[in-house]
A and B are shown apart, each in its own frame.
Chain A
Amino acid sequence: GENVEQHPSTLSVQEGDSAVIKCTYSDSASNYFPWYKQELGKRPQLIIDIRSNVGEKKDQRIAVTLNKTAKHFSLHITETQPEDSAVYFCAPRNKGSARQLTFGSGTQLTVLP
């Protein structure tokens, strides 16, 4: 099965600074790489995703970069705001028929005002 490692587990940044979270996966057949944001007691929300034929994708203050050779992808948040504070999960997906997501251990991001 897929082994997923996510770092760091906690990250505190000053408002306006950037935050980067890295996810390493083991299954070279994975072809879809999403990032989810989860607020306390709520459902995970898809914030950005990237497919294996693309190296980088950006959506306003959020970007994701993918290095398929090294089997890692990263979430970049620029100009952080207090409402960005949440737990972020990477969840690479396999190509198998079940299309299962394997969630990383999560990163608690705290943006300090």
Chain B
Amino acid sequence: GAVVSQHPSRVICKSGTSVKIECRSLDFQATTMFWYRQFPKQSLMLMATSNEGSKATYEQGVEKDKFLINHASLTLSTLTVTSAHPEDSSFYICSASPGQGGNYEQYFGPGTRLTVT
């Protein structure tokens, strides 16, 4: 149980274009979803926290107009990188948490490798 998927697993896009990444909880409802970015040989950095039906809360230094997060249902959150640039190339990982019944564990997706050329 507690499976989280991400799509796509890899994406290459041209500078200036937008790319959407989906995060789905397959066998549970996720009250809260988190988006992380991980550069090579670095740690996971939290970008934003989103609750179903609410606007996402972004971490300091993360541009909310560039990284659009939508959490429209209890099983789906999307991250759209708008006007992507080479410096946005990174490994993006989502996690989903039931956030209820005392279960606040985060279940991680497999990640999306974004390369901007």
Give chain A's interface residues, CB within 8 Å of chain B.
32, 41-46, 89, 93, 98-106
Contacts and interface: CB of A to CB of B under 8 A. Distances in A.
A104 B113 contact: no
B36 to A, nearest CB: 8
Interface in B79-117: 91, 93, 97, 99, 104-106, 108-111, 113
Interface of B: 32, 34, 42-46, 49, 57, 91, 93, 97, 99, 104-106, 108-111, 113
B43 A93 contact: no
Contact of A99 (B42, B91, B93, B99): B99
A98 B32 contact: yes
Contacts of A89: 43-44
A46 B111 contact: no
A43 B110 contact: yes
Given A42-B111, A43-B109, A99 B43 contact: no
